Chains A and B, each alone.
Chain A
Amino acid sequence: MSELTSLTIAEARERLRAGEVTSRELTEACLTAIDAADALNAFVHKTPEIALERADAADARIQAGDAPAMCGIPVGIKDLFCTEKVPSQAASRILEGFRPEYESTVSQNLLDDGAVMLGKLNMDEFAMGSSNETSVYGDAVSPWRRGNDTTPLTPGGSSGGSASAVAADLCLAATGTDTGGSIRQPAAFVGITGLKPTYGRCSRWGIVAFASSLDQAGPMTKSVRDAAIMLGSMAGHDPLDSTSADLAVPDFEAMITGDIRGKKIGIPREYRMDGMPDEIEKLWVAGADMLRDAGAEIVDISLPHTKYALPAYYVIAPAEASSNLARYDGVRFGHRAKLAQGDGITEMYEKTRAEGFGDEVKRRVMIGTYVLSAGFYDAYYNRARKVRTLIKKDFEDVFAAGVDAILTPATPSSAFGLGEMADADPVQMYLNDVFTVTVNLAGLPGISVPAGLDAQGLPLGLQLIGRPWEEGDLLNTAQILEDSAGFLAKPAKWW
């Protein structure tokens, strides 16, 4: 059974098409694995009936010879995606009981291609967090441990449940979303591949909004090839999202050729942080060597405004969040506070939001409200948007100079223990996104590829950043890292 759940999408696709396995068998194996993994708290709403029904439908399509690549593949869906009649609450109390009457475009695209939804995955509340510790469902737990030490570790965040589920072989792949690093950081923490596409590649329609100018959905998978296959299904123009790009979706998988000769890979000097662990520095150098050995040219580059990406992000993202989250008012959906005698509509709003939002969400909504308020709009919000223009220009300049992709570490450390950051101030937690957040501000595609283990035996990832709309080229370079690093480590099963 466990052998089936550890298949990649590409492997499962071949076996399904060859008739060696059915989607029902794959799906049942995953459902069994999920039921045995409650200790990971990755799947927070299980949908076995839907899964088996879709598996049977997929098997019929495969039999009929009408099977797209994702047909019959069991996947997990992050709780941020609205899924018809299935709880979709962005890991927040304020959306308790919410069952959408519609399906998000991305999950619909997967469904149309025959993918099998196993259930909804844990995450940080409204995708605000880097450790999956702000979830109303409780912490998601990484399947990885520091050797024999039983301290529970974070799978990263905000797509922590997705990361944990894929790494623990509870599903073949999962959807994630990435606003400042929420696909790439958790992927790096658990040793899987995570791709954030170019802004506009996937429709945001039906995905609970956090920061609309930064949010992007993407695949979290067991291999680079799988990321290419799954992105092909998720992506595409959608008239329901005016920011989704009206561009043809190329065959990303076919663009993985294994040939990167003559490609120019930039190493940005500003990403060399003070106090960065030696192991990460070494891994970064090793990654550059792998690409050089495959025929790429490695060049030093400068992205001078890197240092200002995090402060700009923590103005822009909360500003957009304060506006987006204004819709949670206790009127149309989700939680409404019990009111006292004489309470009016303002008390209803204030009590509902105080009860419904967790601390980190409240913090960001209030920061956003402040930076948008009269008198501070120019000093904070407009200034941050101008800095964002400069950050994007940094990338445009290096791409104009002929750089094809940029190699950086994915995270400044390996996974930390759940609760270990509890006494740290919020800014310490924000530093987790230091290598990933620039990519969202510039709207670029970025991918995290597992590349090694640290001295504690925990996964470390490398990040590649590509030119806009060139996910295919980016995936091709990422495949070289995957092949050269030969990362095959799996967490020892304890759950």
Chain B
Amino acid sequence: MSIDEETAAKVAKLARIAVDEEALPALAKELSHILGFMEQLNEVDIEGVEPMTSVTPMRLKRRKDMVTDGDQQEKILKNAPDAREGFFAVPKVVE
């Protein structure tokens, strides 16, 4: 599977990473090469094989459905690049 510039631009958009127009050809080539390496997986007979969901079989633990944590507004906002009046601040989301 080879990735063209348009696909590379789409992937960058989905990943929310700004990529300059000029950088797209090199990026497409690089991603194509890595995906080419993965093509080897097509040689494997996977008929009837279950995809792995958990490497060590274990039951997920259950706990009571109750509040166990909270009241940490100050701590949670401590590292925010822009926090105001007890909230995370971001650019305008809705016009």
Interface residues, chain A, with chain B CB atoms under 8 Å away: 97-101, 198-200, 213, 239, 242-243, 245-246, 305, 307-308, 310-312, 314-315, 322, 326, 329-336, 339, 343-351, 353-354, 357, 362-363, 365-367, 369-371, 373, 376, 379-380, 382-390, 392, 425-427, 430, 441-443, 468
Interface pair A354/B61, CB less than 8 Å apart:
no
What mask results when residues 52 to 63 of chain B are scored 1 for a CB within 8 Å of chain A, else 0? 111110101101
A239 to B82: give the CA distance in the assembly, Å. Answer: 32
CB contact between B18 and one of A101, A199, A350, A380 (< 8 Å): that residue = A350
A361 to B79: give the CA distance in the assembly, Å. Answer: 22
Minimum distance in angstroms from B69 CB to a CB of chain A: 10
A213-B55, A308-B41, A322-B15 known; A334+B79 contact, CB < 8 A: yes
Interface of chain B: mostly helix, strand, loop or mixed: loop
CB contact between A367 and one of B16, B34, B76 (< 8 Å): that residue = B34
Interface pair A357/B17, CB less than 8 Å apart:
yes
Interface pair B75/A101, CB less than 8 Å apart:
yes
Interface pair B61/A427, CB less than 8 Å apart:
no
Interface pair B11/A366, CB less than 8 Å apart:
yes
Interface pair A369/B50, CB less than 8 Å apart:
no
Interface pair B30/A329, CB less than 8 Å apart:
no
Interface pair B82/A336, CB less than 8 Å apart:
yes
CB contact between B30 and one of A363, A365, A386, A388 (< 8 Å): that residue = A363
A180 to B7: give the CA distance in the assembly, Å. Answer: 28
CB contact between A366 and one of B31, B51, B75, B91 (< 8 Å): that residue = B31
A239 to B64: give the CA distance in the assembly, Å. Answer: 13
A344-B92, A370-B31 known; A386+B18 contact, CB < 8 A: no
CB-CB under 8 A from B90, the residues of chain A are 331, 345, 348
CB-CB under 8 A from B14, the residues of chain A are 369, 373
Interface pair B61/A307, CB less than 8 Å apart:
no
- Interface: B67 (CB within 8 A): no
A-B contacts besides A336-B81, A389-B49, 7 pairs, CB < 8 Å: A308-B43, A314-B34, A363-B30, A365-B15, A370-B7, A383-B41, A383-B44
Minimum distance in angstroms from B25 CB to a CB of chain A: 15
Nearest first, the 10 closest Cβ-Cβ pairs linking A and B are: A443-B55, A385-B51, A336-B81, A333-B79, A354-B18, A350-B18, A386-B46, A101-B75, A349-B16, A369-B15
Q: What is the total number of residues of chain B having a CB less than 8 Å from a CB of chain A?
A: 53
Interface pair A98/B79, CB less than 8 Å apart:
yes
Interface pair B41/A339, CB less than 8 Å apart:
no
A468 to B85: give the CA distance in the assembly, Å. Answer: 50
CB contact between A101 and one of B19, B34, B78 (< 8 Å): that residue = B78
A322-B15, A339-B91 known; A367+B46 contact, CB < 8 A: no
CB contact between A348 and one of B12, B50, B60, B91 (< 8 Å): that residue = B91
A369 to B34: give the CA distance in the assembly, Å. Answer: 13
CB-CB under 8 A from A349, the residues of chain B are 16
CB-CB under 8 A from A385, the residues of chain B are 51-53
A199 to B91: give the CA distance in the assembly, Å. Answer: 41
Q: For A328, give the chain B residue with the smallest CB separation.
A: B16
- Interface: B66 (CB within 8 A): no
Minimum distance in angstroms from B15 CB to a CB of chain A: 4
CB-CB under 8 A from B61, the residues of chain A are 239, 242, 246
A365-B15, A370-B35 known; A315+B58 contact, CB < 8 A: no
Interface CB pairs A-B, < 8 A, 12: A101-B78, A101-B79, A243-B56, A308-B40, A310-B37, A334-B79, A351-B18, A363-B34, A370-B7, A388-B51, A389-B50, A442-B55
Q: For A379, give the chain B residue with the smallest CB separation.
A: B1
A349 to B53: give the CA distance in the assembly, Å. Answer: 30
A333 to B83: give the CA distance in the assembly, Å. Answer: 10
Interface pair B15/A426, CB less than 8 Å apart:
no
CB-CB under 8 A from A430, the residues of chain B are 37
A400 to B47: give the CA distance in the assembly, Å. Answer: 23
CB contact between B58 and one of A245, A333, A343, A354 (< 8 Å): that residue = A245
CB-CB under 8 A from B38, the residues of chain A are 311, 314-315, 371, 380, 384
Q: For A214, give the chain B residue with the smallest CB separation.
A: B55
Minimum distance in angstroms from A226 CB to a CB of chain B: 26
Q: For B46, give the chain A residue with the smallest CB separation.
A: A386
A315-B38, A332-B88, A383-B46 known; A199+B31 contact, CB < 8 A: no
Interface pair A330/B81, CB less than 8 Å apart:
yes
Minimum distance in angstroms from B47 CB to a CB of chain A: 9
Interface pair A387/B56, CB less than 8 Å apart:
no
Most B Cβ at <10 Å: residue of A97, A326, A367, A382: A367
A346 to B28: give the CA distance in the assembly, Å. Answer: 22
Interface pair B46/A200, CB less than 8 Å apart:
no
Interface pair A343/B91, CB less than 8 Å apart:
yes
A389 to B76: give the CA distance in the assembly, Å. Answer: 39
